[in-house]
């Protein structure tokens, strides 16, 4: 498990560096950690789903890592 984490960390660092991103893997993860998915059901009605607004910093991290920004539907599929 620790070996896999190390490999993921190094790949992330490599991608950020290749994209000339000013973010370290630690800062990138701290920024992405603040993204929240919400699902609310009131009085048995159909649930309403949402995703917190993606900040400019988070968008830059996604772009540097060549990852699509999450959407409410794709993110909530795992909840």
Q: Which pLDDT does position 56 carry in this prediction? A: 95
DSSP H or E run through 37: strand 37-40
- Look up the pTM and report it: 0.76
The 10s digit of each residue's pLDDT in 15-27 is 999 999 999 999 9
Q: What stretches in the chain show pLDDT beneath 70?
A: 73-79
Q: What ranges in the chain are assigned the alpha helix state H?
A: 2-18, 25-32, 56-64, 72-76
Q: Which pLDDT does position 11 carry in this prediction? A: 97
- Which tokens is 56 given? 């400019």
The residues, any chain, with a CB within 8 Å of residue 54's CB and separated by 6 or more, are 35, 62, 69, 70
Q: Which pLDDT does position 75 carry in this prediction? A: 46
């Amino acid at each position: 498990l620790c070996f896999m984490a190390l490999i993921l960390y190094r790949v992330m660092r490599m991608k950020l560096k290749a994209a000339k991103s000013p973010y370290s893997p630690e800062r990138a993860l701290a920024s992405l950690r603040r993204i929240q998915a919400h699902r609310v059901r009131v009085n048995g009605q159909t649930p309403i789903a949402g995703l917190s607004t993606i900040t400019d910093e988070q968008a830059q991290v996604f772009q540097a890592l060549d990852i699509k920004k999450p959407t409410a539907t794709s993110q909530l599929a795992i909840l």
